[in-house]
Amino acid sequence: MKAKILIVGGGAMGTSVALSAAKRCDPLTEPVILIEKGSLGSGSSGRTGAVIHQGYAERPLAGMARDALKVYAGMHRLVGRNVGYKRTGVLVVAGTDPETIAVLKRNVEMQRSLGINVKVMTAQEMRAICPGIMVDDAAMGSYEPDGGYVEPRRTIDTFAALARSYGASTRTGVQNPTVLVENGRAVGVATSEGEFRAPNVVLATGPWTGVILKELGVEMPLRVVRIEETFFEMPDPPALEDVDDAIDDDIETRFQPDPLDLMPAAHPVILDQVNGLHLRCEPKAKRTRVGRIGFDGLPELERPESLNEEVSDDFRNWASPLLNGRMPVYGEMAPCGNQAAWITLTPDQRPIVGQVKEIPGLYVVTGFSGNDFQLAPSIGEGLAQMILGQPVSAIDEEFFSPSRFAAV
């Protein structure tokens, strides 16, 4: 089979690249094909919390998050498909450390200069936004009312379905894909179903990318670590009257369960920088996901297949006292499961997006360092522009360049 662009990997990034590429290519003369060895979303994207927020410390990332949020929020209206975007708001608890507060304020200022709706909050305001939260009187935080989350599988399915509607094809369960290189150029992928030939091959293979590149003789500083998350029953959302009573009139941005929402979240997404935890309600499953912020000391995986799916209660036992100290209501909530997953890290915790200089025609999109599901629309757009030689407006090419590590 022949394609103009062949995408390997059907996670958030691969499906988003397929969509943006298909929009720009003639399906008859410039086909776009995505191949996935498992099912769509069988990598990190199927296990993500998919929190959507614009609270990045780096300007290019904050700008992309702002643009991506518009895509998620407008998807239903624009294309009639729902990615499960819930606007619960995102509350960052920065604590009392003056240096951390100074950084928070600087970041909020930068984000606001990009047009992002976010504000610094006092302890009193945080308590009003998030009834039941325990914060020190001197603590500061920030609140982003438009943040929340999407449903990752619906998002991936939507990207893939839209890509197909523009003429792309998506093939799952394609076994043993191997990148073909001829005369130093990527020319396609050999699989058990035969060869897929294409002058542009995109590795959107998440945690598998480092291994694939190594087999091609390319070294990139990618590390894959194993992360655990735990789940608790979700508390009941606060009664609307209680939230109203608790809120001062001068706080114009606040978490309020939507009265028309049949399955409201119990509270905003909480990014607790003090304890290194994040909380994201999953109303449909009546549970709250608790994960960690920061990946220091996590066990490294040589090969993604070696991920141990058996999860002990160690992470939960560590997280519980911190969680209960922050949101005491969780002391009454029953545990309901754990999961293990992969995080693909780069040394500067920024993704790698672009052409592999050692192998022209081969592109990588990986290293999202535990974030950035939310950036998928901008990444897809930017990479499609790059491959097709169009002006690259959706991402900052230099910022994500695979060559940036060689230059250090």
Ligand X SMILES: Cc1cc2nc3c(=O)[nH]c(=O)nc-3n(C[C@H](O)[C@H](O)[C@H](O)COP(=O)(O)OP(=O)(O)OC[C@H]3O[C@@H](n4cnc5c(N)ncnc54)[C@H](O)[C@@H]3O)c2cc1C
Cβ distance to ligand X smaller for residue 44 or 54: 44
* Distance in Å, CB of 188 to ligand X, minimum: 13
What residues contact residue 356 under an 8 Å CB cut-off, 6+ apart?
213, 218, 362, 363, 364, 402
* Distance in Å, CB of 137 to ligand X, minimum: 29
Residue 316 has a CB neighbour count (10 Å cut-off) of 19
For ligand X (CB under 6 A), the number of binding residues is 40
Judged by CB under 6 A, the residue of 7, 9, 144, 287 near ligand X is 9
Rule CB under 6 A: say whether 181 interacts with ligand X.
no
* Distance in Å, CB of 343 to ligand X, minimum: 5
Rule CB under 6 A: say whether 206 interacts with ligand X.
yes
Phi, psi (degrees; rounded to nearest 5) at 176 = 50, 50
Closest-CA residue to 163 (of 315, 309, 40): 40
**245: three-class secondary structure by DSSP:** helix
**295: three-class secondary structure by DSSP:** coil
Closest-CA residue to 277 (of 311, 310, 229): 229
Rule CB under 6 A: say whether 338 interacts with ligand X.
no
Cβ distance to ligand X smaller for residue 43 or 131: 43
| Structure tokens given for 63 | 């700008």
Cβ distance to ligand X smaller for residue 293 or 388: 293
Cα–Cα dist 237/354, whole Å: 43
Binding span for ligand X by CB under 6 A among 4-12, 73-81, 294-302, 309-317:
4-12
Rule CB under 6 A: say whether 37 interacts with ligand X.
yes
Closest-CA residue to 4 (of 13, 18, 14): 18
111-150 footprint of ligand X as x/- string (CB under 6 A): ----------------------------------------
Cα–Cα dist 307/18, whole Å: 28
Residue with tokens 């910022």: 399
Rule CB under 6 A: say whether 34 interacts with ligand X.
no
Judged by CB under 6 A, the residue of 3, 13, 25, 352 near ligand X is 13
291-330 footprint of ligand X as x/- string (CB under 6 A): x---------------------------------------
Name residue 144's beta-bridge partners. 90
Binding span for ligand X by CB under 6 A among 5-13, 248-256, 353-361, 398-406:
5-13
Which residues within the stretch 275-294 sit at the binding site for ligand X (CB under 6 A)?
291
Cα–Cα dist 153/177, whole Å: 23
Rule CB under 6 A: say whether 210 interacts with ligand X.
no
Cβ distance to ligand X smaller for residue 37 or 127: 37
Cβ distance to ligand X smaller for residue 158 or 374: 374
Closest-CA residue to 124 (of 269, 258, 254, 281): 254
Judged by CB under 6 A, the residue of 3, 5, 8, 384 near ligand X is 8
Closest-CA residue to 353 (of 81, 20, 131, 73): 20
Judged by CB under 6 A, the residue of 3, 5, 6, 12 near ligand X is 12
Judged by CB under 6 A, the residue of 35, 130, 133, 160 near ligand X is 35
Contacts of 388-391 spanning 24+ positions with Cβ under 8 A: 388/21, 388/24, 388/25, 390/24
Helix (H) or strand (E) holding 230: strand 223-233
* Distance in Å, CB of 147 to ligand X, minimum: 10
What residues contact residue 127 under an 8 Å CB cut-off, 6+ apart?
133, 135, 246
Cβ distance to ligand X smaller for residue 27 or 38: 38
Cβ distance to ligand X smaller for residue 159 or 330: 159
* Distance in Å, CB of 150 to ligand X, minimum: 9
Which residues within the stretch 366-385 sit at the binding site for ligand X (CB under 6 A)?
366, 368, 370-374
Closest-CA residue to 40 (of 7, 19, 14): 14
Rule CB under 6 A: say whether 50 interacts with ligand X.
yes
CA dihedral (359, 365, 369, 375) in degrees, to 10, reads 160
Rule CB under 6 A: say whether 205 interacts with ligand X.
yes
Judged by CB under 6 A, the residue of 4, 21, 45, 272 near ligand X is 45
Listed in sequence order, the DSSP H helices in 30-85 are 59-79
- CA 384 distance to own-chain centroid: 19
Interface residue list for ligand X (CB under 6 A) = 8-14, 35-38, 42-45, 47-51, 177, 204-208, 212, 227, 229, 291, 341-343, 366, 368, 370-374
